[in-house]
Amino acid sequence: MGAVLGLTNRLGALNAALLTFGRRLGAGFVGLMVLIILLQVFFRYLLDSALAWPEEASRFLMMWMTGLMAPTAFRRGGFVSIGILTRLLPRVASAVLALFLLGLSLVVMIMGLRIGWSEVTGLGGRFTTDSLHYPTTFDFSTWAKVPKSWMMLSLVVGLVLLISVCVELMLRNLITLAGRQEQLLMIPEAAIGGAE
Amino acid sequence: MLSLFLPLFLILLLVGLPVFFGLIAAPAILLWLNGQERDIVLLYRNVYNGMDSFPLMAIPFFMLAGEVMNRSNITLRLVEFSQAMMGHLRGGLAHVNVLSSMLFAGLSGSAVADVSALGSMLIPAMEKQGYTRSFAAAITAASSIIGPIIPPSGIMIIYAYVMGESVAALFLAGIVPGILMGGGLMLMIHFLADRYNLPAATRRATWGERGNASLKAIWPLLTPVIIMGGILGGIFTPTEAAAVAVGYATLIGLFVMRTLRLSDLPDVLTRAGMTSAVVLLLVGAAMAFKTVASLSHTPELLASIILGLSDNPLILLFLINLLLFVVGMFLDAGPAIIILGPILGPIFTSLGVDSVHFAIIMAVNLTVGLLTPPMGLVLFVTSSVSGLRVETIARATLPFLAVEIFVIFLITYFPAISLTVPRFFGFVQ
């Protein structure tokens, strides 16, 4: 069990580092989304000359924000669920049930990852976005359209992070079953709330 | 076989599987058992395409606007304004609590943000004035329910997106029900004044003091005017209006009120982003769920069962209110709308109930569910803000809950309450 504990805490530290990076990037994306839409409002209503790219660019950022930030919410217990049964059950039974639910979630995520990757590398990913471009030379003289796969990758990256978190949470449940939960690294709780 | 996805989903939900995974797992398992593996790919595409939406971006923006306003202490200005207007009445601070919630609802559209912002300020202040802490917590929790009803509203955006309704129509339809809810709570405070021995009236504010408080609160109070005025005037889309609300709140927080610091922004952006990410995933999964629901003919099946109970829409609306109330006891409003909207909406519109009217019935009923145990999100937040047990607060909210249930039935049986304003603006025929 000592090896499992060590593995759990090491995976926990890795997840914490990755998710901190993801959160920071995601927070930056939220700010950028606001700025881009405000810029569009300025151009459309004050200069009467709407820009072509803000809507797609902000959607691009929103998808990445979701992929990068949702795993933190999952790790902190922020995914909405009816937790009455797990709370009513004794500690061991509750941990077994939680393990089963995490296992089922893991299957869903692995299935999603498999499909997601084939979508990114498949025909759909080869199309390009309508209005987003990136420079192909350092002097910005030539530009190419951003492939859709760059945007589709957001959900795949999100799923990879979610799987990593799910494995960590499953290992944590095993440690809890063994009664050594006090030796686990702390995970902060998510702030309560949703669209409500 | 595919029609079994709903019972399977309910079982997975009840054993505690997160709603997001349940929305995907239930149809996926049945598709797999049905030998339709290729359709599971469509499920994935529906999740992705469901999230990739410009109108949906209003959700993170309105959440961010609420966070910025909270951090800027704009709440304090609203409370001072409410105090100047209603503080002299018997049970003055309780009335102030309700009025502040109604004003805050016009800024943030979130019951949880309302409880966190107003509760931490008003519950100790009310206790100091002689109210019991349970009463103060109860009225804070009960009045916060107005948050998602008066526009802007996160759950209305979700409903509009999932069901293909107009966000502006739903925003407008929520105005009168929200005011009715606030008025009803104030009436109840008036009736309870003797029973709870609420503190007697304090000095009435002079017109000068009221003018001063109004002037201080004018900046935050202009937010709903900008949002709704911009949307109705055809100046902004709801998403742009939400971004403008963020920009406006940030500017007044940083430069007018000077209560917001640049160093506050990373935390504010992170909180808004994280909450939105979860909501967006849920909405994406709901779009996949909705597709499977229509493919499996579940709404038609349920419609025949429901219509077998009675062919009188009034009785059916009563029954559906009971169902929504029970669902609201176990599930938050957003996920409940995501799950039930695509199933129940078509049934009732086919019975002749206006789709906007039904949206408001669902949204208000499920929002009141935030106040009911065992899974009342607002109760949990109020408990953490007030330090009281959830059961204590739940018991103390009963008179206010009765008012809110009464308002739900008023909204249900008098469609004009929700439809008059959107009809006036041409959103409803």
Average pLDDT, integer, range B46-64: 92
Smallest CA–CA distance, residue B208 to chain A, in Å, is 37
- Write the residue in A105, A109, A115 that is nearest to B40 by C-beta: A115
- Is pLDDT at B50 greater than 70 in this prediction? yes
The answer to whether B159 and B165 are in contact (CB under 8 A) is: yes
Say what the pLDDT of residue B2 is.
60
- What pLDDT band is residue B170 in, cutting at 50, 70 and 90? very high
Question: Which DSSP state fits A43?
Answer: I
Confidence (pLDDT) at B151: 92
Interchain CB contact of B173 with A (< 8 Å): no
pLDDT tens, residue by residue, B375-390: 788 998 899 889 898 8
- Confidence band for A190, pLDDT divided at 50, 70 and 90: low
Query: What is the structure's pLDDT at A88?
Result: 87
Q: Within 13 Å, how many C-alpha atoms sit on residue A102's CB side?
A: 23
Q: Measured between alpha carbons, how far is residue A62 from residues A54, A146, B148, B273 in Å?
A: 12, 16, 23, 9
The shortest C-alpha distance from A8 to chain B (Å) reads 22
Tokens 């009225």 correspond to B139
For chain B, the C-alpha Rg in angstroms (whole number) is: 22
- Asked if the model's pLDDT at residue B341 lies above 70, the reply is yes
Q: What pLDDT score was predicted for residue A195?
A: 65
Q: What ipTM was predicted for this assembly?
A: 0.93
pTM (2 d.p.)? 0.88
CA–CA separation, A89 and B259 (whole Å): 46
Ranges of each domain in chain B: 2-424
What average pLDDT score do residues B106-113 get?
84
Judged by average pLDDT, the poorest of B170-184, B225-239, B357-371, B398-412 is B225-239
For residue B406, count CB atoms less than 10 angstroms from its CB and return exposed for 0-12, middle for 13-18, buried for 19 or more. middle
User: Hey, is the C-beta of B33 within 8 angstroms of any chain A C-beta?
Assistant: no
Condensed to tens digits (0 to 9), the pLDDT of residues A170-186 reads: 999 999 888 887 888 88
Give which of B123, B121, B120, B147 is closest to B63, Cα–Cα.
Answer: B147
DSSP string computed for B191-255:
HHHHHTTPPPP-PPPPHHHHHHHHHHHHHHHHHHHHHHHHHHTTSS-HHHHHHHHHHHHHHIIII
Count contacts between A and B (CB, < 8 Å). Answer: 214
Please give the pLDDT value at position B244. Answer: 94
Following CA atoms A136, A142, A148, A149 in sequence, which dihedral angle do they give, to the nearest 10 degrees?
-10
pLDDT by residue (tens digit) across A76-135? 988 888 878 888 888 888 889 999 999 999 999 999 999 999 999 998 888 999 999 999
What CA dihedral angle connects B119, B380, B51 and A40, to 10 degrees?
10
Task: Tell me what the pLDDT averaged over chain B comes to.
Answer: 90
**Measured between beta carbons, which residues in chain B are less than 8 angstroms from residue A66?**
51, 276-277, 280-281
Chain A nearest C-alpha distance from B197 (Å):
33
pLDDT classification of A192: cutoffs 50, 70, 90: low
Look at strands A143-147 and A128-135 and give their pairing. antiparallel
Give the tokens for residue B217: 């609160």
Report pLDDT for B424.
Answer: 95
